[in-house]
């Protein structure tokens, strides 16, 4: 049977506010455990929450970016359950009246077609702390630094039909929230976490199958793998005549395994009710309009501009515009380098490959945009050959602190482009290669001629100590051989 995959996502996005959603404690990542946990965050008796206005601004900006209805009145509710890293014994979240109503995000598929993913709603809530199960001798350590970090939880409609679509959506969303500046987008620190709802149904049917939810996936790669894994698991069960159990599952990306966390029957009754410590929040048109007028350029607009202003291809413009940090890096590199296409090639080629291999994001790049720009400039003005450029890049990547030009001089990478000098060089090399010249001139097959031509370039480059401009050498050589 042909199966259709149906996917909906719930995405937790940590908002880049300075302080927590209900207290004045810093949200900075990486502090010693429990050093960023105030009396309010610890849920000490009598303490009370006060909502962070910046979190409302960020949530509203997100709503505007996805063309959603912004609810003028939103209500925090208590979601009750016991867990050691949930200090109050309830999570303060929004349910019936979230800040962001229905909206949509358009994604581009592999085949170039556009697809609309509908957003059901997005709501504000607080993050929990962390339970640390290792290194505590059979006990559990609790770190409440993260407790109270503001999140928006974005809930999509079940509009995606493959893991690839889900990843395309996730990347688009990542680009959106980072471009808005409402999230640092650092997935390794949990700034964006995905819950994936997956069901399958026979191709051509309308009714949704029973779904499972795989929780807390924090990379695009794991999300894609988890969906593939879950789809195969469900197909196996159904094709063996079994039934899918509605349940929450955990996926282990390192082992490509998943296990049931709890079934629907075991699910908590969260006993939601409006939080009496927080009044309903009313926002007005002026609040929304002020944010609307200050919205930064979003990826779609940026992509169009990159194509128009820099002459980039659809593909390059799409890749460079989706991530705000990458886009900024590109524009800075292009500005210094002067040649935008060359800058794009270097960023999407060599730099991306090296960053990926080192598991770094572009903000952590050891090569600054300015330095890469200078490198691009030296390639564009023929100072460097491509092999020379690679050597300079290598030095920059490894933290060489010298100027790009100083590295070129030091390493003797400056290309010789003086045609008079190069002509003398060609003459002297050809003088010892009479047999090969004869052979070349006698050859009629253009393919074979091209190959024989390569036989001259090696000795030429060697004679120029690798500094001859290969393009010019090639031109001169051709002229001499034909002559």
Q: What does the binding site for another protein look like in residue numbers (CB under 8 A)?
A: 39, 42-51, 78, 80, 82, 84, 87-90, 140, 142, 269, 271-273, 276-279
**343: helix, strand or coil:** helix
Contacts for 411 with CB less than 8 Å, ≥ 6 apart: 388, 391, 392, 395
Name which of 144 and 217 has its Cβ closer to another protein: 144
Residue 464's nearest CA partner among 397, 394, 391, 415 is: 415
The H-assigned helical ranges of 348-433 are: 352-358, 369-380, 386-397, 404-410, 419-430
Name which of 28 and 50 has its Cβ closer to another protein: 50
Name which of 46 and 446 has its Cβ closer to another protein: 46
The minimum distance between CB 134 and another protein, in angstroms, equals 17
The minimum distance between CB 77 and another protein, in angstroms, equals 10
The minimum distance between CB 85 and another protein, in angstroms, equals 9
Name which of 81 and 315 has its Cβ closer to another protein: 81
The minimum distance between CB 99 and another protein, in angstroms, equals 16
Angle at 197 between CA 359 and CA 120, to 5 degrees: 100
- The encoded tokens of residue 141 equal 């350590």
Looking up tokens 């190069």 gives 422
The phi and psi torsions of 208 (rounded to 5 degrees) equal -75, 140
Name which of 36 and 374 has its Cβ closer to another protein: 36
DSSP line for 71-89: PSEE-EEEEE---TT-TTS
For the four alpha carbons of 19, 20, 21 and 24, in that order, the dihedral sign comes to negative
The minimum distance between CB 244 and another protein, in angstroms, equals 23
Name which of 95 and 380 has its Cβ closer to another protein: 95
Name which of 49 and 209 has its Cβ closer to another protein: 49
Task: Please say whether the beta carbons of 193 and 42 come within 8 A.
Answer: no
Distance of alpha carbon 225 from alpha carbon 251, whole angstroms: 9
Task: Please say whether the beta carbons of 437 and 426 come within 8 A.
Answer: no
Which H or E run contains 175?
A: helix 163-180
Contacts for 39 with CB less than 8 Å, ≥ 6 apart: 47
Name which of 88 and 172 has its Cβ closer to another protein: 88
The minimum distance between CB 284 and another protein, in angstroms, equals 18
Beta strand residue intervals within 1-60, DSSP E: 3-14
The minimum distance between CB 291 and another protein, in angstroms, equals 22
The minimum distance between CB 49 and another protein, in angstroms, equals 7
Residue 113's nearest CA partner among 161, 157, 176 is: 161
The minimum distance between CB 29 and another protein, in angstroms, equals 22
Task: Please say whether the beta carbons of 62 and 119 come within 8 A.
Answer: no
Name which of 78 and 174 has its Cβ closer to another protein: 78
Name which of 9 and 275 has its Cβ closer to another protein: 275
Contacts for 246 with CB less than 8 Å, ≥ 6 apart: 210, 211, 212, 263, 264
Distance of alpha carbon 266 from alpha carbon 248, whole angstroms: 10
The minimum distance between CB 211 and another protein, in angstroms, equals 20
């Amino acid at each position: 049977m042909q199966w259709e995959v149906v996917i909906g996502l719930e995405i937790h996005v940590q908002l880049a506010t300075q302080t927590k959603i209900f207290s004045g404690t810093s949200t900075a990542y990486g502090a010693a455990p429990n050093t960023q946990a105030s009396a309010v965050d610890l849920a000490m008796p009598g303490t009370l929450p006060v909502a962070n206005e910046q979190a409302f601004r960020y949530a509203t900006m997100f709503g505007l970016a996805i063309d959603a209805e912004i609810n003028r009145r939103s209500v925090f509710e208590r979601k009750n359950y016991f867990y050691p890293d949930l200090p109050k014994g309830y999570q303060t979240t929004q349910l019936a009246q979230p800040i962001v109503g229905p909206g949509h995000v358009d994604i581009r598929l592999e085949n170039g077609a556009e697809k609309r993913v509908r957003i059901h709603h997005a709501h504000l809530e607080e993050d929990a702390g962390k339970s640390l199960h290792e290194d505590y001798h059979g006990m559990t350590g609790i770190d409440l630094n993260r407790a109270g970090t503001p999140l928006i939880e974005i809930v999509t409609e079940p509009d995606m039909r493959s893991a690839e679509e889900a990843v395309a959506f996730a990347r688009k969303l990542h680009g959106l929230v980072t471009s808005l500046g409402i999230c640092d987008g650092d997935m390794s620190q949990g700034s964006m976490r995905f819950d994936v709802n997956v069901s399958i149904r026979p191709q051509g049917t309308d009714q949704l199958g029973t779904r499972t939810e795989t929780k807390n996936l924090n990379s695009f790669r794991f999300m894609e793998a988890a969906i593939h894994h879950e789809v195969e698991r469900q197909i196996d069960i159904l094709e063996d005549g079994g039934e899918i159990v509605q349940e929450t599952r955990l996926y282990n990306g390192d082992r490509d395994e998943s296990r049931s966390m709890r079934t629907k029957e075991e699910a908590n009754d969260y006993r939601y009710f409006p939080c009496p410590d927080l009044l309903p929040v009313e926002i007005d048109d002026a609040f929304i309009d002020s944010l609307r007028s200050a919205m930064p350029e979003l990826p779609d607009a940026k992509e169009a501009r990159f194509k128009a202003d820099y002459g980039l291809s659809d593909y390059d413009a799409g890749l460079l515009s989706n991530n705000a940090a990458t886009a900024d890096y590109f524009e800075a590199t292009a500005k210094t380098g002067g040649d935008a296409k060359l800058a794009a090639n270097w960023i999407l080629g060599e730099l991306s490959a090296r960053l990926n291999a080192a598991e770094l994001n572009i903000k952590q790049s050891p090569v600054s945009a300015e330095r890469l720009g200078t490198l691009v400039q030296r390639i564009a003005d023929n100072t460097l050959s491509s092999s020379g450029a690679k050597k300079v890049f290598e030095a920059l990547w490894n933290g060489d602190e010298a100027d790009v030009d100083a590295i070129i001089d030091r390493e003797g990478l400056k290309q010789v482009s003086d045609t008079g000098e190069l002509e003398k060089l060609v003459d002297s090399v050809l003088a010892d290669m009479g047999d090969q010249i004869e052979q070349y001139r006698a050859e009629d097959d253009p393919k074979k001629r091209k190959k024989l031509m390569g036989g001259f370039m090696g000795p030429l480059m060697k004679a120029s100590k690798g500094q001859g401009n290969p393009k010019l050498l090639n031109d001169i050589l051709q002229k001499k051989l034909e002559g």
